[in-house]
Chains A and B, each alone.
Chain A
Amino acid sequence: MRLFLIVLLSVASFSLAQAHAFLDHADPRVGSTLAASPSAVKGWYTEELEPAFSKIEVFDGTGKEIDNKDSKVDPTDKTLMVVSVPKLTAGTYKVEWSAVAVDTHHTTGTFTFTVTGP
């Protein structure tokens, strides 16, 4: 009984990250520098995503959201999340993503890329 209580209490005190869908790779690549503006920002994740709770946003250097607010999970490849962007001027852009995998777990993350060209 004592062993049971010890195990019960020790397990209950675990504090773990509820993170499951991780960013596998992105286009533009994480931290990359581009000569010209991309037409969209894409993120591929390690698990299939729930469209209703997943989104990706792009912000400029002043913190203003500059994407077209049409973030969506690709219906043919549910590991891919896409948001289109207008023609970007030179600068560093921050991408914020929030993903819920089909195993119900929520993850968030950010990365940046830089545009040097017109």
Chain B
Amino acid sequence: MTTSLLIYARAVHFASGMVLLGVVAFRWLVFLPVFAGESEEVWQKFLPLLRKLSALFIGSGIFLIISGFALFWAVAAGMSDMSLTESLNRETFSTVLLLTQFGTVCQLRLGLAVLLGAMMWSLSREHWLTRSQSSWLEAGAGLVAMALVASVAWTGHAAAAGGFAFWWRVLADTAHLLATSIWPTGLLPFALFLGCARRIENPALLRPVLAVAQRFSHVSFITVWILMASGLMNTWFMVGSLSALANTDYGHLLCLKLALFIIILVIAARNRYRLVPLLTSSANPAEKDHFFKLVRYLQNFVTIEFLLALAIVLVVSVLGITPPPH
């Protein structure tokens, strides 16, 4: 029971934090730079998308906070070697919170969660409908969310390393967590954008939709390299050898994660080198129907990539409770 809660709470916590950051990253890095210069008419057509992004941002923030509490409970039960019911008492919770490294990080994360909740409360839905890229409140919420996601690195295997290796492990973990938030978790807002564009199916949208697809492709391309570099560093620190990769539970899970990642990568490569060029060549009013048919294909593939990314988050959650061989 404790193990199940630990796995699922951690998975929901990771996923919701990354989706929250993914929404912010998509809005800042992809959507607003393209749409800032578009006409009011085009902008108005995407208000439903912005409302969805706002709901996703707030919803994932709520999931992040609730799953954080569930994760704390599961960890407290595991540390005290009690059942979930037995561990539900002030003494156990206060010992974990006040006398352990995990608790110290939780205090910091609790403060960040409260701050994030207050910021999200203040970020009215209407704010999300503006073109402003420089809202301090939104920037602040994004930074707090980044800190919340990155601080997970201090509670995992990396935190158990001593000395010099500790900083390298935490750095690799942090880079990996933040990059994952942009891609592939950021594929969810991108899929919502494509769905919105497909439903509008207006010739005036050909150019901005293509620009968003190309820009997201470029951002993802950079993120993939960061993910691979930090993933290799993590693998080296945690596994250390090919035989450990082949002969341990941790290694097997890592291989499963890698296999899922490769599938996502193949789909992403197909999108980047096949679908986006086809979109580019058909981005004219004469081929409007074909263009939006391609947008639908792209949306389907992006949705599959996102679902596979969620499966990776679940694998990572299990990796978090599995002894690394190194």
Chain A residues at the B interface, C-beta cutoff of 8 Å: 1, 3-4, 7-8, 11-12, 14-22, 47-48, 50-53, 79, 98, 100-106
CB of B177, distance to nearest CB on chain A (Å): 16
Residue of A nearest to B77 (CB): A106
Q: Is the CB of B102 within 8 A of A104?
A: yes
Residues from chain B with a CB closer than 8 A to the CB of A98 are 81
- Compute how far the CA of A78 lies from the CA of B311 in the bound complex, rounded to whole angstroms: 36
Q: Is the CB of B314 within 8 A of A11?
A: yes
Interface size class of B (residues with CB under 8 A): 35 or more
Q: Is the CB of B101 within 8 A of A50?
A: yes
- Compute how far the CA of A16 lies from the CA of B81 in the bound complex, rounded to whole angstroms: 16
CB of A20, distance to nearest CB on chain B (Å): 5
Known: A11-B315, A15-B3, A51-B99. Contact between A20 and B307, CB under 8 A?
Answer: no
Q: Is the CB of A106 within 8 A of B7?
A: no
Q: Is the CB of A20 within 8 A of B157?
A: yes
Please pick, from B4, B8, B101, B315, the residue contacting A102 in the complex, using a CB distance under 8 A.
B101
Residues from chain B with a CB closer than 8 A to the CB of A11 are 256, 311, 314-315, 318
Q: Is the CB of B3 within 8 A of A12?
A: no
Interface assignment of B151: CB less than 8 Å from any CB of chain A: no
Known: A11-B315, A52-B100. Contact between A105 and B78, CB under 8 A?
Answer: yes
Q: Is the CB of B311 within 8 A of A103?
A: no
Q: Is the CB of B102 within 8 A of A16?
A: no
Q: Is the CB of A7 within 8 A of B311?
A: yes
Majority secondary structure, B binding face: helix
Q: Mark B127-156, 1 if CB is under 8 A from A, else 0.
A: 000000000000000000000000000011
A-B contact pairs, 8 of them (CB 8 A): A11-B311, A11-B315, A16-B318, A18-B323, A52-B96, A53-B95, A102-B101, A105-B323
Residues from chain B with a CB closer than 8 A to the CB of A15 are 3
Residues from chain A with a CB closer than 8 A to the CB of B101 are 50, 102
Residues from chain A with a CB closer than 8 A to the CB of B160 are 20-21, 47-48, 101-103
Residues from chain A with a CB closer than 8 A to the CB of B102 are 50, 102, 104
Q: Is the CB of A1 within 8 A of B318?
A: no
Known: A20-B157, A47-B160. Contact between A53 and B80, CB under 8 A?
Answer: yes
- Compute how far the CA of A63 lies from the CA of B42 in the bound complex, rounded to whole angstroms: 79
Residue of B nearest to A102 (CB): B101
Q: Is the CB of A79 within 8 A of B310?
A: no
- Residue among B80, B308, B318, B323 with max Cβ neighbours from chain A (10 Å): B323
- Compute how far the CA of A11 lies from the CA of B79 in the bound complex, rounded to whole angstroms: 23
Q: Is the CB of A102 within 8 A of B100?
A: yes
- Compute how far the CA of A95 lies from the CA of B318 in the bound complex, rounded to whole angstroms: 31
Q: Is the CB of B314 within 8 A of A100?
A: no
B62-98 contacts to A, CB under 8 A, are: 75, 78-81, 95-96
Residues from chain A with a CB closer than 8 A to the CB of B162 are 48, 79
Interface assignment of B289: CB less than 8 Å from any CB of chain A: no
Residues from chain B with a CB closer than 8 A to the CB of A50 are 79, 99-102
Q: Is the CB of B99 within 8 A of A4?
A: no
Interface assignment of B202: CB less than 8 Å from any CB of chain A: no
CB of A96, distance to nearest CB on chain B (Å): 13
